[in-house]
Amino acid sequence: MRKILIANRGEIASRIIRTCRNMGIQTVAVYSDADEGMPFVKEADEAYRIGEAQVNKSYLNMDAIVETALKAEADGIHPGYGLLSENAQFAQKIISNGLTFIGPSPDTIEKMGDKITSRKLMQSAGVPVVPGTHGIADIEEAKAAALEIGYPVMLKASGGGGGIGMIRCNDEQALIQHFASTKNRAKAYFGTDEVFIEKCIEDGRHIEVQIFGDKHGNIVHLFERNCSVQRRNQKVIEEALSPNLSQATRDKMYDAALNAAKAVRYENAGTVEFIVDQNENFYFLEMNTRLQVEHPVTEALTKLDLVKWQVAAARGEKLPLMQSEIQADGHAMEFRVYAEDPDTFFPSPGTITSLKWGDSEYARVDSGYESGSKVTPFYDPMIAKCVIWGETRETCLSNASAFFKETNVEGIKNNIPLFKDILENEEFQKGTYSTKFIEQLKSIKK
Amino acid sequence: MKELTASMAGTVLNVLAGSGEEVAAGQAVIMLESMKMEIPVEASQDGKIAEVKVNIGDFVNEGDVLVTFE
User: Is A347 close to B59, i.e. CB distance below 8 A?
Assistant: no
pLDDT score at A234: 87
User: Is A381 close to B10, i.e. CB distance below 8 A?
Assistant: no
Q: What is the pLDDT of residues B43-60, one digit of tens each?
A: 988 999 999 999 998 989
Cα within 13 Å of Cα(A142), Cβ side: 26
Residue of B15, B33, B37 to mutate when probing chain A, most A C-beta within 10 A: B37
Is A87 in contact with A65 (CB distance < 8 Å)?
A: no
Instruction: For residue B42, give the 3-state DSSP assignment.
Output: strand
**Cα separations in angstroms, A335 against A156, A345, A415:** 27, 15, 10
User: Is B36 close to A54, i.e. CB distance below 8 A?
Assistant: no
The helix (run of H) or strand (run of E) holding residue B22 is: strand B22-23
For residue B6, pLDDT over 70 is answered with yes
Cα–Cα distance measured from residue A27 to residue A103, given in angstroms and rounded to the nearest whole number: 17
User: Is B37 close to A232, i.e. CB distance below 8 A?
Assistant: yes
> In the A/B pair of chains, how many CB contacts fall below 8 A?
35
pLDDT score at B1: 64
- Full 3-state SS string of chain A: CCEEEECCCHHHHHHHHHHHHHCCCEEEEEEEHHHCCCHHHHHCCEEEEEECCCHHHCCCCHHHHHHHHHHCCCCEEECCCCCCCCCHHHHHHHHHCCCEECCCCHHHHHHHHCHHHHHHHHHHCCCCECCECCCCCCHHHHHHHHHHHCCCEEEEEEEEECCEEEEEECCHHHHHHHHHHHHHHHHHHHCCCCEEEEECCCCCEEEEEEEEECCCCCEEEEEEEEEEEEECCEEEEEEECCCCCCHHHHHHHHHHHHHHHHHCCCCEEEEEEEEECCCCCEEEEEEECCCCCCHHHHHHHHCCCHHHHHHHHHCCCCCCCCHHHCCCCCEEEEEEEECECCCCCCECCEECCEEECCCCCCEEEEECCCCCCEECCCCCCEEEEEEEEECCHHHHHHHHHHHHHCCEEECCCCCHHHHHHHHHCHHHHHCCCCCCHHHHHHHHHC
**Cα separations in angstroms, A261 against A221, A315, A395:** 10, 20, 34
Per-residue pLDDT tens listing for chain A (446 residues): 999 999 999 999 999 999 999 999 999 999 999 999 999 999 999 999 999 998 989 999 999 999 999 999 999 999 999 999 999 999 999 999 999 999 999 999 999 988 889 999 999 999 999 999 998 999 999 999 999 999 999 999 988 876 677 889 999 999 998 999 889 878 877 888 999 999 999 889 999 999 999 999 999 999 999 999 999 878 999 999 999 999 999 999 999 999 999 999 999 999 999 999 999 999 999 999 999 999 999 999 999 999 999 999 999 999 999 999 999 999 999 999 999 999 989 899 999 999 999 999 999 999 999 999 999 999 999 999 999 999 999 999 999 999 999 999 999 999 999 999 999 999 999 999 999 999 999 887 76
Q: Which of B13, B37, B59 sits opposite A347 (nearest CB)?
A: B37
Is A154 in contact with A197 (CB distance < 8 Å)?
A: yes
Catalytic residue, chosen from A225, A290, A364, A393, is A290
A290 is catalytic: yes
Q: Which of A232, A377, A380 sits opposite B8 (nearest CB)?
A: A377
User: Is A339 close to B35, i.e. CB distance below 8 A?
Assistant: yes
Rg of chain B (C-alpha set) = 11
User: Is A347 close to B11, i.e. CB distance below 8 A?
Assistant: no
Residue A145 makes CB contacts below 8 A (sequence gap 6+) with: A132, A133, A136, A197
Among the listed residues A250, A266, A256, A278, the one whose alpha carbon sits nearest the alpha carbon of residue A217: A266
pLDDT score at A446: 66
Cα–Cα distance measured from residue A443 to residue A332, given in angstroms and rounded to the nearest whole number: 28
User: Is B36 close to A232, i.e. CB distance below 8 A?
Assistant: no
Cα within 13 Å of Cα(B64), Cβ side: 17
- What pairs with residue B40 in β-bridges? B31
Residues 267-306, chain A, touching B (beta carbon < 8 A): none
Instruction: For residue B48, give the 3-state DSSP assignment.
Output: strand
ipTM above 0.85, yes or no: no
Residues 37-76, chain A, touching B (beta carbon < 8 A): 53-54
Cα–Cα distance measured from residue A4 to residue A74, given in angstroms and rounded to the nearest whole number: 5
Is A123 in contact with A133 (CB distance < 8 Å)?
A: no
Distance of residue A378 Cα from the nearest chain B Cα, in angstroms: 6
Domains parsed from chain B with CATH numbers: 2-69 (2.40.50.100)
A362 touches chain B (CB under 8 A): no
A380 touches chain B (CB under 8 A): yes
Confidence category of residue B36, pLDDT binned at 50, 70, 90: confident
Distance of residue B35 Cα from the nearest chain A Cα, in angstroms: 4
Among the listed residues A367, A432, A425, the one whose alpha carbon sits nearest the alpha carbon of residue A401: A425
Among the listed residues A177, A181, A266, A164, the one whose alpha carbon sits nearest the alpha carbon of residue A218: A266
Distance of residue A164 Cα from the nearest chain B Cα, in angstroms: 9
A320 touches chain B (CB under 8 A): no
Residue of A nearest to B60 (CA): A377
pLDDT score at B5: 94
Q: Which of A53, A188, A381 sits opposite B35 (nearest CB)?
A: A381
Residue A1 makes CB contacts below 8 A (sequence gap 6+) with: A25, A75, A76, A100, A311, A314, A315
User: Is B37 close to A349, i.e. CB distance below 8 A?
Assistant: no
